[in-house]
Amino acid sequence: MRRSRWLRRAEAILFLVLAGALQGCPLILIGGGVAGGGAGVAYAKGEQEQVHAAPYDKVWEATLSALRTLNITVSETAKDQISAKAIGTKSDGTSVAVSVLPVTKETTSVRIRIGTFGDRPASEQIQGEIAVVLKEVR
C-alpha cells in the first residue's frame, strides 16, 4: 500500500513537471527583492522576463534610458496603454527586442530577447540597468 501511494505521488509530480515543460512555463522563478525591487525573474526559450515594482510609464522610460546607457541603438519604438516595444541593435549588430507590459498598477513586466536564440547574460545586464535607473528615479 505504501508503494502505490508513493507511486501515485511520483506520477503526479512527473505530470506537473512535464505539463509545465510542454507549456513553455519557466521552471525557475526567483521571487522578491531582486536588485531594484524586482518582483521576479524568469528565463525561458531565449527570453528573459523580470517584473519590476514600478508603474508602467516609469518602467518604459527607465527601459529607454537603460538601452541608451548600454549603447544599444533603438531603431523602432511603439507604445500604447496595453504594451510598449523597443527594437534595436547592440554595437556588434545583434538584435535586441524589449517588451514592456503592465501587470498591475504598481508592477510592470519587461521581456528581453537578444538575437535569435537569446543571450541570458546580456538580457540580465539590461534588466539590471533598468533596475538601477528605477532606483535613481524614486
In angstroms, the CA 16 to CA 52 distance is: 28
Q: Give burial (CB, 10 Å; 0-12/13-18/19+) of 104.
A: exposed
Helix (H) or strand (E) segment spanning residue 99: strand 95-102
Q: What is the pTM of this model?
A: 0.69
C-alpha cell at 8: 501515485
Per mean pLDDT, which of 19-28, 30-39, 104-113 is the most reliable?
104-113
26-35 long-range contacts (CB < 8 A, ≥24 apart) are 34/131, 35/128, 35/131, 35/132
What pLDDT, in 10s, does the model give residues 110-130? 999 999 999 999 999 999 999
Q: Where are the domains positioned within the chain?
A: 29-137
Query: What is the structure's pLDDT at 7?
Result: 59
Look up the CATH superfamily of 29-137. Sirohaem synthase, central domain (3.30.160.110)
